[in-house]
Amino acid sequence: MQWLPISAKESKILTDQVVCYQKDRSNTTLYHTVHNKTQQILYSLPYYLHLLEEEDLSDFLLYCYKTIDYYLTSYRIGRLSYIGYLSQVVRKRTKYFISQKQANSIRDRLICEIEPFTNAQLWSEPEMTAETASYTTFKDLLVSQMDSLPELFNRLLYERKASQEVLDERLQELKREISTPVNRKRFLIVLTLSPGLTNQHLLEKLADILEVDSRLLCRYLNTANLMLEEKQRCKEAFTSTSNRHFRRLLEIENSLQTETDAKVLERLEALRCWTIGVYKTKVTQIRKMEFRLSHHQVGELLHIPKGTIDSSVHYMKRVLSQYMDEQSDIEYL
């Protein structure tokens, strides 16, 4: 049980203490002991079980704090120790915690977005920081440069060019598999998700398999790759902003340790809380941003429903796994 606040021996002692407390609830010393141990476990377990990130542990403990008394009284001795019982509790509670956190994030973003319009005359930027109190979204990525993508996609679907190169037997089987219009469309959708993965040699092979002009396929993938470049620039901007917030947070923490004026301390504490909230938001957005196109983005670019993208990827994963050299390892599909 590494990384947990107690060992296996201490876990048995804690279980006995909880049972003793249930029999004698007037023992305040024992109550404070098991209560503090429960706090430590609730703080450690979500990270140990890979359910939450480390920066969310304090919020999760506060989320569960009022129900600790219920955990102490509802536990029943049996197959599970007290820490095993808390593990089951944490697994369930983290689901509600994450959903509530996402709902609060959406609500806060909406409040920040509509406040300048509802109070246009009174609203102003916070005086205590030079940063804009707003949440950046991914909706403003430039799509105007990719208006030609659906046209190129349709050309690849219907324009055929006889292959000059003789493919090996396995690639010939793959070529026959995706020769139908439906599978051809599915295969192109899969290529669109990660257009930057195709080097020159692989591009020629793909063009022969699809029986298309390699220059047309290259143009299509390069056009789709523009979105990845926009996402990368957006991610770099987010990283720069989050680093700036982190440096500002360190400055505030240093000022809190040296400042003695009560009013200044109150102002610094409010600024610290605001900066932590914005910093966490930026870090969360950076983590969610993968360097590939999402199914939703591909659907918007190609004017195809997201459900069609999902089903196409699911089907082509099964097909392509049959023609890969490393058939036992398909994690990168």
Distance CA 196, CA 221 (A): 7
Is residue 223 within 8 A of residue 152, CB to CB? The reply is yes
Is residue 292 within 8 A of residue 168, CB to CB? The reply is no
Distance CA 178, CA 156 (A): 13
What would the pLDDT profile of 162-171 be if each residue is shown by its tens digit?
766 667 777 7
Q: Which residues of 58-84 are buried (b: 16+ CB within 10 A; e: fewer)?
A: eebbebbeeebeebbeebeeeeebbbe
Residue 252 corresponds to which amino acid? I
Measured from the Cβ of residue 135, the count of other Cβ atoms closer than 10 Å reads 17
What would the pLDDT profile of 270-308 be if each residue is shown by its tens digit?
888 888 888 777 777 666 665 667 788 788 888 888 888
Distance CA 144, CA 230 (A): 12
Q: What is the reported pLDDT for 124? A: 45
Residue 232's region, left for phi above 0, alpha for psi from -120 to 50, else beta, is: alpha
Looking at the predicted structure, is the pLDDT value of residue 188 above 90?
Answer: no
Q: What's the rounded mean pLDDT across residues 155-160?
A: 83
Looking at the predicted structure, is the pLDDT value of residue 137 above 70?
Answer: no
